[in-house]
Structure 1
Amino acid sequence: MDQKVASPAAEGRTISWADEVVRRLLAANRNAKRFIAIVTDILTCALAAWLSFMIRLGVWLDLSHEVILFSIFEIFLTITIFAFSGVYNNIFRFYGLRGLGQIARCCVIIAIPSVAVFGYVGFGGIPRTVSVIFPLLLFALVALNRIVVRFVLFDLQEAVPQRHRVLIYGAGRAGRQLALSLQHEGGYELLAYVDDDQNLIGQWLDGVPILTRDEMAELLDYREIELVFLAIPSLRRSERAKLVEQIRKFGAHVLTLPSVDEIVSGRVSVSDLREIQVVDLLARDPVDPDSDLLEHEIANQVVLVTGAGGSIGSELARQILLLRPKRLILFEMSEPSLFAIEQELRKSLELSGTETEIIPELGNLRNEATANRLMERWRPHIVFHAAAYKHVPLIEHNTVAGVENNVVGTLNAALAAQKHGISKFVLISTDKAVRPTNVMGASKRVCELILQALAGMGICTTTFSMVRFGNVLGSSGSVVPKFRKQIAEGGPITLTHREMTRYFMTIPEAAQLVIQAGAMSVGGEVFLLDMGDPVKIYDLAQAMISLAGRTVRDEANPDGDIEIVEIGLRPGEKLYEELLIGAEANSTKHDRIFHAREDSLAWPILQPHIEHIKSAASVGDAASIRKILSELVDGFEG
């Protein structure tokens, strides 16, 4: 690590040993800097004492007994007075007239015992005027010392245009192209490459060494690397998460190149780099989708997506459009949301040149006639029912509207699909439907019961299935956009409980898995998506603060930037979410999709309860709705 590192981005500049000494001094902690200052002052005292004798006697002196005795006395006196006066608490970067005045006062105090001992008493045969000359020389030399140190370490360094010190992780083609781009951009100083390929370790690229991960940690520790560029687009998400976590501990900022699929041209430049996203920290690698499953029910078919303007519905529509359906029906009750997704998809159509017909349908499935008109008019082959109210606290305070929209809307859509011979109907469900403590989760579990009951009737021509999964990153109800906004505003980040955990996956992956699960359904299945390991929301908040280049403010770090505040669980909220009600889930032919074995109710038993819910909703009777939900749903207590 003591070698000189040539940098293609530094325009021929070489990092000298002097640069390295300056960097290490600047990076040292306060105690180390205080020790260096004390040692320097000891040497300065000795020099001042020797010069005092030289000036008094006018001859060159060796280190005689008198000089040594005087020097020891003055060193002890000077360091003691400097320490008690707070001289070593000053910060060199901001040293000025006030600091020089403090040293002058200390030198006056030092002169008093010096003159008393050597000038008045005449101790040790030392000339009396030496005790008067010494404080004057001491002030001049210490002041000069402080001024020179400030100029060399700070003023001179700040006068030189600073380059960002960079490390590139990945010495392959992308890394080399990125290094060339840095060279043309200017303002960057490439110190090293890091790579996992043992054949590359120890070699040099254009004067820049290729290091191991362990050597990277050492470099990050003492060279104050500012930026780390990840230039391995094919790096697995789990490996990326571990690597980012390792780098973050050293305070370096991490940027990454897009994935291989996102890099279209053969060139790689600084402009291609992007910030590390929360998804990069999910230690869970996505599984490549099964193209046969994706296209099985979509290609050249008429497809309906309800709730097409929402987070999941809109991503389903995007993924479905890529699979070239004959017609894509977008159903949504929010006019702005429907307009936005329609315009986006039409633009995608123009760029791709495909001939899918996009039909925007505005309406509300709580209206039975609307549901029947929709199914009868377009006769879709498959329906993805994503329309739902999903915000837990809002639905808790708006029980009637939430249950009517979720339960009655799903009932109307499912019965209309059955009536008009729709081939497949896929419900987008949630992990909150498992032993729910809130109205939203209970309403979604009732939706599952409706589809299970209809599928169990035996005479149904429509294949009903449900796909249950947890939170998706970036959805309207996700904590991620909320945390991002709070960080941008300077905090604090508010979370309900330090121990709260949730399952997370990306919206595109969730949408792809929903489509594949729908293709595997044969009737009445509750599919579970493998969400990986649950994530602590507190850990997520810490990671997002770090990614934003800020620090957490807490008891251990009171000078941090962003505070994390617990505000308590909201009504109906759980600390931990589950994906399975029963004890068993069977694997399917897809690694990330499982088939849950869940209890269900026969339609003749369930139907009267649903009618009671509809009646209670029509008169705004929230108490009755909660009572019926508690009778139907395991775990919900109303």
Structure 2
Amino acid sequence: MPDRLSRALRRFRGRIMRPAPAPSGPDTSRLPVLIYGAGQTGQQLAAALRTDNSMRVVAFVDDEPRLRGLIIAGLRVHGPEAIDTLIAQHGVARIILAMPSATEAARARLSRRLTATGCEVHALPSFADLITGRAVALYDSQPIDPASLLGRDALEHELPGVTSAYAGRRILVTGAGGSIGSELCRQLVTCAPVSLVLLDHGEHALFQIERELRDLAPDVEIIPILGSVCEAALVNVLMSAKKIDVVLHAAAYKHVPMVELNAIEGMRNNVIGTRTVAQAARDAGVERFILVSTDKAVRPTSVMGASKRFAEMIVQDLATRSPGTRFSMVRFGNVLGSSGSVIPTFAEQIARGGPVTLTHPDVTRYFMTIPEAVRLVLLAGTFARGGDVFVLDMGAPIKVRDIALRMIEASGLRLRDADNPDGDIEISITGLRPGEKLHEELLIGSDMLTTPHPRILRAQEGHLSEIELVKALKSLSEAIETRDVALLRRILGQWIEQTEAEPAREEG
């Protein structure tokens, strides 16, 4: 055995069977964790973590039947079937795989199963990694990326040109507390901007991201602003008073069924809010404005998609009349890990024993991780010439049913259907909801240009003329102010290229 591994194993030899001291009371200050693997490595890891102030091991889990029920290193060994119970009893938030001798394929299968519990999953390095030097220490566990469920190749973490493009700038991020907005902020502070202004209408989300960023980048001025992108006076003051150089506009209502049922507020926030922020950026002479858009803006069948297409056209129009500001937008599909995304939803349903609900057996979606999408958004913004519609290459669309099947299998369970009535988890088809598409699209036309990065494409798309857009926005504003949903839908049908969709019951 190589010296590197021998030293790591000898470090805790003699301590692994020592019983854990009885706690004097509940320890709520340390993160409750499970160790998967009660062998020598798992035992030594448990011994090491006794002196760790951040984690508290509550039990072992192991596939070996002869170990179940034993007390090893002061901890009981349970079978995999007890994981959900242990999570519920102890509030387990992290599971650490301690199986360095397992094959990569076996570790990957187990990782997928454990990810479906909703816990953060870490894995100790394999012996191969230790031997080759790819891992420095046996106990350096790393989080497992949920994107492995989709089989995506990881995007490089460092993209040339991003840091220099945002370093020394004063940056405004709208929707800073949301899934995309908060990740934009995390990545931007690593670029050493002078200041980062966070605009969000949610107090709790704003508080959370502000606190996180202050810890991440104590040298960057973090300015949290509680307010709406629809407040023109507030947005104008921010642009001028904070001397904003770059705007990343991520504020939007994004859930298709929710916006379908609340069309007035969806259009107000997504359309009027975009116009307010974009015009303020132009008037203040902001250097760059980047709109975060969505594949649902392409031939939309929903109010949410139509609202984002209107937002795109506002930005495209302003780009033709704003030589001092480079306007662009970046369009991409679904992101993993955002609120309401399929993986946490399916994981919860599987944990409850099913059924896993699908809107349609053939529904497909484009998927990308949040950090990956944000890195490409920031890079695309550096390519902007004015009015650019950037489209992220997300690979082939993925059948959502395949994700469900993969997660059921990863949980160690079997699909229950007509062919396998003794299976564990059923898939229930609920039907497409109002405004939802069977298949999403990323392009309105087929005319695409490359950019310096292979995962970023530049679309060649038309838009409404200035006169048409003014007329459409005037009608939209009237419908919003009078809360006339029927008028709003007629306007969308008139100005936005749509395919037929069933209208939902709507707010009054």
Give the TM-score normalised by the residue count of structure 2.
0.74
Inter-CA distance 613–367: structure 2 relative to 1 (3 Å threshold):
same
Structure of higher CA gyration radius: 1
Structure 1 residues 626 and 231: alpha-carbon distance in aligned structure 2, compared to 1, 3 A threshold: farther
Give the equivalent residue in structure 2 for 1:339.
207
Q: 1:407 aligned to 2:297?
A: no
Q: Where in structure 2 are the equivalents of 1:353-364 lying within 5 Å?
A: 354-364=218-228
How far does residue 232 in structure 1 lie from its aligned partner after superposition? Answer: 11
Cα pair distance change 1:631/1:183, threshold 3 Å: closer
Shift of 1:634: 1.3
Instruction: Write out per-residue CA displacement over residues 478-508 of structure 1, whole angstroms, 9 at most, x where no aligned residue.
Output: 1222112212222211111111111111111
Q: Does 1:581 align with 2:444?
A: yes
CA contact (8 A) 2:326 2:384 kept: yes
Residue number in structure 2 paired with 1:545: 408
Match of 2:250 in 1: 386
Picking from 243, 246, 266, the partner of 2:136 is 266
Q: Specify the alignment match of 1:327 in structure 2.
A: 195
What amino acid sits opposite 1:436 in the alignment? P
- 1:373 alignment partner in structure 2: 237
Alignment of 1:3-82 (within 5 A): none
* Contact 1:431-1:470 within 8 A present in 2 as well: yes
Distance 1:549 1:610, change over 3 A: same
Q: Which runs of 5+ in 1 are unaligned?
A: 1-7, 12-162, 167-176, 191-226
Conserved? CA contact 2:184–2:374, under 8 Å: yes
**Aligned partners of 1:293 and 1:520 also within 8 Å:** no
Higher relative contact order (Cα pairs below 8 Å, separated by 6+ residues): 2
> Is residue 452–residue 525 contact of structure 1 (8 Å, CA) maintained in 2?
yes
Of residues 387-396 and 554-563 in structure 1, the stretch that sits farther from structure 2 once superposed is 554-563
> 2:305 and 2:465 mapped to 1: Cα distance?
21
Q: Deviations over 1:363-394 (max 9, x none)?
A: 11112222212212212111000000000001
Percentage of pairs with the same residue? 46
The alpha-carbon deviation at position 322 of structure 1 amounts to 1.2
Q: Cα distance, 1:547 vs. partner?
A: 2.3
Contact 2:173–2:185 at 8 Å: present in 1 too?
A: yes
Q: Distance in 1 between matches of 2:431 and 2:408?
A: 21
User: Cα offset for 1:287?
Assistant: 2.9
The aligned residue for residue 204 of structure 1 is none
Within 1, Cα distance between the matches of 2:63 and 2:500? 62
Q: Is the 8 A contact 2:125 2:135 kept in 1?
A: no
**1:467 and 2:330 aligned:** yes
Deviation at 1:292? 3.4
- What secondary structure sits across from 1:292 in the alignment? coil
CA deviations over 1:163-204 (Å, ceiling 9, x no partner):
9699xxxxxxxxxx96996899999799xxxxxxxxxxxxxx
Partner of 1:511: 374
1:630 aligns with 2:502: no
Pair 1:599-2:469 in alignment: no
Distance 1:637 1:420, change over 3 A: farther
Distance 1:550 1:273 in 2: 26
Secondary structure at the counterpart of residue 230 of structure 2: coil
Per-residue CA distance 1:96-124 (angstroms, 9 max, x = gap): xxxxxxxxxxxxxxxxxxxxxxxxxxxxx
CA–CA distance in structure 2, aligned partners of residues 333 and 248 of structure 1: 36
Identify the residue that residue 183 of structure 2 maps to in structure 1: 315
User: Aligned partners of 1:188, 1:541: CA distance in 2, in Å?
Assistant: 25
CA distance in 1, matches of 2:477, 2:46: 68
With 520-529 and 604-613 compared, the bigger mean Cα shift is at 604-613
Say which of 135, 153, 166 aligns to 1:298: 166
Q: 1:632 to 1:290 in 2, by over 3 A?
A: farther
| CA drift at 1:297 | 2.5
Change (3 A) 1:187 1:523: closer
Amino acid at match of 1:496: T
Aligned equivalent of 1:44:
none
* Contact 2:332/2:392, CA 8 A, preserved across alignment: yes
Shift of 1:347: 1.9
The count of corresponding residues between Structure 1 and Structure 2 is 415
Bigger proportion of residues as helix: 1
Distance 1:496 1:616, change over 3 A: same
Instruction: Sort the Cα spacing of 1:494 and 1:178 in 2 relative to 1 into closer, same or farther, 3 A.
Output: same
Contact 2:334 2:366 in 1 (8 A): yes
- CA shift for structure 1 position 248: 8.8
1:438-479: CA deviation from partner (whole Å, max 9, x where unpaired): 01001101110111111122x431110000000000101312
The answer to whether the 8 Å contact 1:390/1:477 transfers is no
How many Å apart are 1:543 and its aligned residue? 1.5
Please name the residue that 1:527 is paired with: 390
Tell me, in whole angstroms, the C-alpha distance in 2 between the residues paired with 1:321 and 1:508. 14
CA distance in 1, matches of 2:110, 2:176: 40
Coordinate RMSD, CA, aligned: 3.5
* Distance in 2, Cα, partners of 1:547 & 1:477: 20
Q: SS of the counterpart of 1:297?
A: helix
**For each residue in 1:103-148, what CA deviation from the matched residue of structure 2 results, as whole angstroms up to 9, or x when unmatched?**
xxxxxxxxxxxxxxxxxxxxxxxxxxxxxxxxxxxxxxxxxxxxxx
Q: Could you tell me whether the CA contact under 8 Å between 2:364 and 2:438 is conserved in 1?
A: yes
* Contact 2:112–2:407 (CA under 8 A) maintained in structure 1: no
* Cα distance change, pair 359–489 in 1 and its aligned pair in 2 (3 A): same
Question: CA-to-partner distance for each residue in 1:559-609, whole Å, 9 max, x for gaps?
Answer: 222221111110010111110110121111011100011111222221121
Does the Cα contact within 8 Å between 1:297 and 1:382 map onto a contact in 2?
no
Separation of aligned partners in 2, 1:438 and 1:520: 30
| SS of corresponding position for 2:475 | helix
**1:637 Cα offset (Å):** 5.1
Residues in 2 aligned to 1:247 and 1:406: alpha-carbon distance in whole angstroms: 38
Distance (Å, rounded) in 1 between the aligned partners of 2:451 and 2:500: 33
Structure 1 contact 366–404 (Cα < 8 Å) conserved:
yes
The answer (yes or no) to whether the contact 1:309–1:341 under 8 Å persists in 2 is yes
Cα–Cα, structure 1 residues 460 and 631, in superposed 2: closer, same or farther, change >3 Å? farther
The answer as to whether partners of 1:496 and 1:567 remain within 8 angstroms in 2 is: yes
Equivalences for 1:162-311 in 2 at 5 Å?
A: 229=99, 244=108, 256-257=123-124, 266-269=136-139, 272=141, 278-289=146-157, 291-311=159-179
Q: Provide Cα deviations, 1:16-43, integer angstroms capped at 9, x if missing partner.
A: xxxxxxxxxxxxxxxxxxxxxxxxxxxx
Question: Which moved further from structure 2: 561-570 or 178-187?
Answer: 178-187
The AA in structure 2 aligned to 1:307 is: G
Is this contact kept in 1: 2:122–2:141, CA < 8 A? no
